[in-house]
Amino acid sequence: MQSILRVELWKATHNIKFYIALTAGVLFAVLDAILTGNGPLYGVCMIVSPTNLGSALFFFFWPILVALPYGWSFWKEKKDQSYIQIEARVCRKEFFWAKFMAVFISGGIVMSIPILLNILILALFHPYEMPHVLSGMNALVNGYFLSSLYHSNLWLFLFIWCLVDFLWGGVIACFCLVVGSKPTFQVMVILTPYLVLLALEIILNTFLYGPNFTLYEVCPMELAKAGTLSANPGWIIFSEMGLFAALDIGLGYWQVVKHEL
């Protein structure tokens, strides 16, 4: 298991698509830092206050960015039959879990590194102040995930949110395994998580949100942000993340191990 995992991790982080996705994410993060106006650090980080072009691009396309590095790998290996050589050396379960972990980690890296870089760049030019509940720039109030930590230990709050987005990036990237090798073209595999999340957002915005339903944020694409329009309590974030993880493992395992290998 360790040998195949090392191979998969090396392939996941040493390919042109990984570099493209990470570079695009970093460019969005830097653009956000350049376009950010004046204000203390707690009110300008793109994960808390995604209000300009850089953060808008990042949080609109992040499902594509996390799937691009390695979500397509099983599709490619199935199409060119190279998986047969791997399957001859390891069992199907080990192959699936190594693939799953490599896709997860590569997606998490592409999601979290730009956010962390954005925080560090902004910290060089914006003062570190503790948020005040009466401040006009206070984006997070009671009901938001870790809102109390936001007002007491900002650096720990930002670090934990980087970890949360690492998990989001990994979970959504692994959704590519659900479709296996069924799509005709590789781009269809890469776009699958994005199209699913975008469809969910359209459906929820059309049928669920309205003047009488603004208490909680439930759109998965929006839950990758700390500063959402509506409250994002932890139970919603991790319930939806757990649901996607269950789909990744359950349907992905059935598709890859039971059906296609």
pLDDT at 243: 94
Structure tokens at 72: 């397509």
pLDDT at 87: 66
- Cβ distance 125 to 56 under 8 Å? no
- Cβ distance 103 to 177 under 8 Å? yes
pLDDT at 118: 95
pLDDT at 140: 78
pLDDT at 261: 55
User: What is the mean pLDDT of each successive set of 10 residues along the chain, which is 261 residues long?
Assistant: 84 94 96 87 85 91 95 82 68 84 96 96 87 65 86 92 96 89 82 93 77 73 89 92 92 73 55
Alpha-carbon gap, residue 189 to 185, rounded angstroms: 7
pLDDT at 136: 56
- Cβ distance 92 to 2 under 8 Å? no
Query: Sign of dihedral through CA atoms 222, 224, 230, 236?
Result: positive
Residue 18's Cα: distance from chain center in Å?
14
| CA separation, residue 38 to residues 35, 43, 45 (Å) | 10, 9, 11
- Cβ distance 12 to 102 under 8 Å? yes
